[in-house]
Amino acid sequence: MAFRVLIIGGTGQVGAAVVRALVAEPSCAEVVMINRKAIPLTGNRRLRRVILDTGVAQFPAEVTKLALSMVALGDPVYGASCVGVGRGSRKWSEEELKALEIGVVGGFARGCHARGVAQFALLSAAGIAYSIYLVFYGTPSKVHHMAIYIGQGRIIHAPTFGQPVQIASLNLMADFVGASRPGWRSSGVVVGSQN
């Protein structure tokens, strides 16, 4: 079964790698990127851009409408925030950073949750290394959970909406299906086993 992903922050270092990995995943039917301004996209028909003003009070409601339209298609929908603090925001005040990290990301999460997006991932460039893999659980045709492999048989993930991000064993779920290294052209690289 196919799945769809609604993502914000898909143009930064982490977000762009996640988008590339998702587009390379055959069971990912669509990746919808929320952007503040128009950016050039690849010609991939499964990648769609939606321009929204993240600074307005209606932002969560606009995310809710978008999530509703995706959920109505019948495939599971996952939300992912890859919003981070980069070079452009290094000189921002504490209030400006809170508006980004809490206001925008929180508004996106609330908008997703309001319309049935049950799985939400918060990804960050903090501590990024070249050995990071996205790991998937489910079956090759129906992925139900995604996490980040952090080495030594461990993952970082959010068990369900509203629960804090946790570090757990790669073998946390019995239906580990495989992994993909963001930014690599191939997918399905296995980084561990259930044995």
Whole-prediction pTM value? 0.64
In this predicted model, what pLDDT tens digit does every residue of 9-56 receive, in sequence order? 888 777 888 888 888 888 899 999 999 888 777 778 889 999 998 888
In this predicted model, what pLDDT tens digit does every residue of 70-127 receive, in sequence order? 999 999 899 998 887 555 666 777 677 777 777 888 888 888 888 778 788 777 654 4
pLDDT reading at 184 higher than 50 = no
Question: For 146-170, b where at least 16 C-beta lie within 10 A, e where not — what string?
Answer: bbbbbeeebbbbbeeeeeeeeeeeb
- Which residue ranges form the domains of the chain, and what is each CATH number? 3-122 (3.40.50.720), 133-180 (no CATH)
Average pLDDT over residues 156-182: 80
